[in-house]
Structure 1
Amino acid sequence: MGPEAILFLLQPSFFCIFPLLFLITFLFKWLSTTPTTHRNLPPSPPKLPIIRNLHQLGLYPHRSLQSLARQHGPLMLLCFGSVKVLVASSIDATHEIMKTHDRIFSNRPRSSIPSTLLYNFKDIAFAPYGEYWRQVKSIAVLQLLSHKRVQSFRKVREEETDLLIEKIREALSSSSLINFSNMFMLLTNDVVCRVALGRKYSVGDVFNVGDCIPWLG
Structure 2
Amino acid sequence: MRDAASFIRAHTAIARPALVPEVALHLATEITPIWQATEAWLAREGIEPPFWAFAWPGSQAMARLILDDPARIAGRRVLDFAAGCGLAAIAAGMAGAAVVEAAEIDPLATAAIRLNAALNGVAVTALDGDVVGAAGRWDLILAGDVCYEAPMTGHVLPWLRAMAAAGAEVWLADPGRAYVPRDGLVPIASLDVPVTRELEDRDLRRVAIARLLA
* TM-score category of the 2 structures, normalised to the smaller one: under 0.3
Q: TM-score, normalised by structure 1?
A: 0.26
User: Which structure has more RCO (C-alpha within 8 Å, separation ≥ 6)?
Assistant: 2
Please identify which structure carries the higher helix content. 1
